[in-house]
Chain A
Amino acid sequence: METIDRLKEAMVEGDEAGCAALAAELVAGGADLKAAIAVLATEMEEVGRRFETLDIFLPEVLLAADGMTAVMKVFSPELAKDATVEKKGVVVVGTARGDMHQIGKDLVALFLGIAGFEVVDLGTDVDPLDFIHEAERSNADVIGISSLMTTTMPGATEVLKLLADKGVRDRFKVVVGGAPTSQEWADKIGADGWAEESGGAIDVIKELISGRA
Chain B
Amino acid sequence: MAYRQWEIMERAATGPFMEEKEFLNKRITAKMREVIRKYGVKYDPAHPVPADDAMADAVWQAAWEFFRDVGVYNQDTHRIMEFSEEEMREALYCAPSSYTVGVGKDSRVFGHRTVEDPRPPFVIFSPDITYDEADFFQACVAYLKEPLLDAICSPLLEDFQGRAIQSKTPFEIGGSMQHAMHLRSAARLMGVPGVCMIAVGTAETDVAQVAVSQPDWGIRPSDGRLVSSITEMMTNNAMLNKGAHYQMYGSFSGNLTGTIYGAYAGGAEGTAIMQAAYHLMGLLTYGCQFQQNFPFHLKYGSNTGREMLWVVSMYSQAVARNTHLVQDSNGFANAGPGTDMLFYEAAAHAMTSTVSGTNLWETAPARNKHHNHGTPLEARFAAEVGHAVARQGMKREQADEIVNALLAKYEENIADAPIGQTFQELYDVAKAVPKPEYLDLYKKVKEAVNAMGVEFIY
A residues near B (Cβ < 8 Å) are: 51, 54, 57-60, 62, 66, 97-103, 106, 123-124, 149-155, 179-180, 197
Contact = CB atoms under 8 A, between A and B. Distances in A.
Given A66-B25, A102-B230, A103-B263, 6 more contacts: A58-B266, A59-B32, A99-B167, A100-B230, A123-B20, A151-B165
A102 B264 CA distance: 12
A155 B263 contact: no
B279 interface: no
Interface in B281-338: 298-299, 301
B263 A58 contact: yes
B162 to A, nearest CB: 14
Contacts of B301: 179
Interface string B167-190: 110001000000000000000000
A68 to B, nearest CB: 13
A119 B168 CA distance: 27
B205 A98 contact: yes
22 contacts: A57-B262, A57-B263, A58-B29, A58-B263, A59-B32, A62-B29, A66-B25, A98-B167, A98-B168, A98-B172, A99-B167, A100-B230, A100-B236, A102-B231, A123-B75, A150-B164, A151-B164, A151-B166, A151-B202, A152-B166, A152-B167, A180-B369
Given A59-B266, A124-B75, A179-B367, A103 B165 contact: no
Contacts of B25: 62, 66
Contacts of A102: 230-231
Interface string B36-59: 000000000000000000000000
A53 to B, nearest CB: 9
Contacts of A149: 167, 204
A59 B29 contact: yes
The secondary-structure label for the interface of chain B is loop
A23 B209 CA distance: 53
Given A57-B266, A57-B267, A154 B166 contact: yes
Nearest to A58: B263
Q: Lowest 8 CB-CB distances: which A-B pairs, in order?
A: A98-B167, A154-B166, A59-B29, A57-B266, A151-B167, A98-B168, A179-B369, A58-B263
A166 B348 CA distance: 53
B130 A150 contact: yes
Given A59-B266, A98-B205, A150-B158, A103 B167 contact: no
B33 interface: yes
Contacts of A152: 166-167, 204
A188 B164 CA distance: 14
Interface of B: 20, 24-25, 29, 32-33, 75, 130, 158, 164-168, 172, 202, 204-205, 230-231, 236, 260, 262-264, 266-267, 270, 298-299, 301, 367, 369, 371
B278 to A, nearest CB: 16
A103 B266 CA distance: 13
Contact of B299 (A54, A58, A150): A54
Contact of A58 (B130, B172, B230, B264): B264
Given A57-B266, A57-B267, A98-B167, A103 B369 contact: no
A201 to B, nearest CB: 14
A154 B204 CA distance: 14
Given A97-B168, A102-B230, A151 B158 contact: yes
A37 to B, nearest CB: 22
A60 B270 CA distance: 13
Contacts of A197: 299
Nearest to B234: A102
Contacts of A124: 75, 230
Contacts of A150: 130, 158, 164-165, 371
Given A97-B168, A153-B164, A155-B167, A59 B33 contact: yes
Contacts of A153: 164
A123 B24 CA distance: 13
A123 B75 CA distance: 10
B205 to A, nearest CB: 7
Given A57-B266, A99-B167, A100-B236, A151 B204 contact: yes
A102 B204 CA distance: 15
Contacts of B231: 101-103, 106
B165 A59 contact: no
A173 B312 CA distance: 41
Contacts of B230: 100-102, 124
A179 B332 CA distance: 14
B166 A155 contact: yes
Contacts of B164: 150-151, 153-154
A103 B158 contact: no
B77 to A, nearest CB: 14
Nearest to A151: B167
A179 to B, nearest CB: 5
Nearest to B368: A179
A99 B172 CA distance: 13
A100 B76 CA distance: 12
Contacts of B204: 98, 149, 151-152
B27 to A, nearest CB: 12
A124 B75 CA distance: 10
A181 B25 CA distance: 28
Given A124-B75, A124-B230, A151-B172, A59 B166 contact: no
